[in-house]
Amino acid sequence: MNPDRSRNTDWLSRSLDVVWHPCTQMKHHEQLPLVPIARGEGMWLHDFDGNRYLDAISSWWVNLFGHANPRINGAVADQLGKLEHVILAGFTHEPVVRLSERLRELTGLSHCFYGSDGASATEIALKMSYHYWRNRGQGTKTGFVSLRNGYHGETLGALSVTDVPLFRDTYAALLSRTHQLPSPDWRLGEPGETPEQVAVRAAAALEDYLQGHHATTAALILEPLVQGAGGMAMYHPRYLREARSLCDRFSVHLIADEIAVGFGRTGTFLACEQAGIRPDFLCLSKGLTGGYLALSAVLTTDDVYAAFYDDDTARGFLHSHSYTGNALACSAALAVLDIFEQDGVLAANRGKAAEMNRRCAVLREHRAVRHFRNTGMIWAFEVDDPDPLFARRFYERALGRELLLRPLGHTVYFMPPYVIEPEQMDHLVQGTLAVLDDMQRGR
Ligand SMILES: Cc1ncc(COP(=O)(O)O)c(C=O)c1O
């Protein structure tokens, strides 16, 4: 290594040489910095040159209890000495059994099927729903409905029910045909309309659609309470209650994609709890392992499980991923659930959210800020700025203020790990304010 080059520069150029980074136009890295991270600790990411960045987006919404969390580290290290992985077809192991039992307790859904990333959970839920109807003699139910602006992952099945043009349009020719219905996003309200009224109006559109198409519709898939990647759109729980009862009335499955919003993100352990409903399929990932290892789970009911239970092999759910139910990932997930239980995380988060909201008053009142909103441990707002490259400029300036923030278009959001402390909240809010002011002044 050339001793004159900083170690950041070295890793940066080696990475750009060989790593094709996700969700990235690689040419942009001719201008945008790539940040090599040497280590993480709690809320902070440290590079090789002694700089640090507050991880205000939980590293793509996965991290709950900080980087290098000693309790999760300990659980994974302990498991590493016993069993790293075993094929889950024909075999089982202690962490996957314990995790499934605990998820059943927490969700009220009795059977747990595992995948790896979030998108694989979406694929599993869609295939299981279709296959359920087929096994029940209703093979015409092949269609899926989702919400406008919804996001469920980027493999072809998941992308087919995703409605984010930037990710979807290029691949449109490869996708299955699905139908998108009005989102209950409260920002779409007519003047004078409350969030609940927006939800009721969107539910009426769902009712109209199902009235005409229930015979050919297998499932409705949605992100409960917050549509994340589509721009942190938030909505009233009434929509979920209406959707549940319409799905029951028209014999259509409800798939709750809680990949981003589960594990306390919206204030309750599951977002669906705020509507008092239970879905037919529940997709979990991201926070499931506290941001440690790729693991996803689809939980479902006795009724669905029974529809596959048969002497005929082909009526079974013949779907698999090599790392399904990985023992290390399950041990991380068990440690995450222990932390929830032992530390009273949901109650503590209510206090943290209130503290954060007090600090955010300066942002809420900022002249460039629109639609400031908060659900649980998610905060978001739009910035009035004509620059189409706003997101990139903001991201870069935020790095300059020791902040990892990745706006979605003109939407700036905070989704910090739950271990955020008051001084880090100050750092986040004051840093964001400074970036906004700099950008307004054109600096
Ligand atoms: C709601 C939702 N569903 C599915 C996914 C896909 O998860 P993954 O990126 O792990 O495939 C995401 C990822 O952001 C998500 O937010």
Instruction: Write out pLDDT tens, residues 383-438.
Output: 999 999 999 999 999 999 999 999 999 999 999 999 999 999 999 999 999 999 99
Mean of the pLDDT values across residues 94-118? 98
> What proportion of the chain, given as a percentage, has pLDDT over 70?
99
Using CA atoms, how far residue 202 sits from 112, 161, 196, 212, 350, in Å, is: 31, 18, 10, 16, 29
- pLDDT of 80-105, one tens digit each? 999 999 999 999 999 999 999 999 99
Name residues contacting ligand 1 (CB within 6 A): 117-119, 122, 151-153, 223, 228-229, 257, 259-260, 285
163 pLDDT more than 80: yes
- In this structure, what token pair is assigned to residue 412? 């700036």
Contacts of 49 (CB under 8 A, 6+ apart): 6, 7, 8
Pairwise pLDDT comparison (359 vs 32), residue with the higher score: 359
Q: Are 207 and 199 in contact (CB under 8 A)?
A: no
Q: Which residues pair with 417 in a beta bridge?
A: none
Residue of 217, 206, 237, 223 lying closest to 152 (CA atoms): 223
Backbone angles phi, psi at 249, to 5 degrees: -60, -40
CA of 361 to the centre of ligand 1 (A): 30
CA of 239 to the centre of ligand 1 (A): 21
Q: Is 25 exposed, middle or buried (0-12, 13-18, 19+ CB in 10 A)?
A: exposed
Q: Check residue 2 and give its pLDDT.
A: 47
> Which string of DSSP letters, residue by residue, matches 75-114?
HHHHHHTT-S---SSS---HHHHHHHHHHHHHHS--EEEE
CA of 73 to the centre of ligand 1 (A): 24
Contacts of 342 (CB under 8 A, 6+ apart): none
Nearest residue by C-alpha to atom 7 in ligand 1 = 118
- pLDDT of 282-322, one tens digit each? 999 999 999 999 999 999 999 999 999 999 999 999 999 99
Using DSSP, how many helices (H) and how many strands (E) does the chain show? 15, 16
CA of 104 to the centre of ligand 1 (A): 22
Per-chain mean pLDDT for the chain: 97
Mean of the pLDDT values across residues 172-201? 97
Q: Check residue 443 and give its pLDDT.
A: 67
Q: Closest ligand 1 atom, CA of 296?
A: 10
- In this structure, what token pair is assigned to residue 83? 């069993």
Nearest residue by C-alpha to atom 5 in ligand 1 = 153
CA of 28 to the centre of ligand 1 (A): 24
Backbone angles phi, psi at 156, to 5 degrees: -60, -40
- In this structure, what token pair is assigned to residue 442? 């054109």
pLDDT category, 440, cuts 50, 70, 90? Answer: confident
Q: Are 115 and 121 in contact (CB under 8 A)?
A: yes
Using CA atoms, how far residue 434 sits from 14, 35, 398, 403, 438, in Å, is: 33, 21, 9, 11, 6
User: Probe ligand 1: pick from 152, 223, 234, 295, max atoms within 8 Å of CB?
Assistant: 152
Nearest residue by C-alpha to atom 9 in ligand 1 = 118
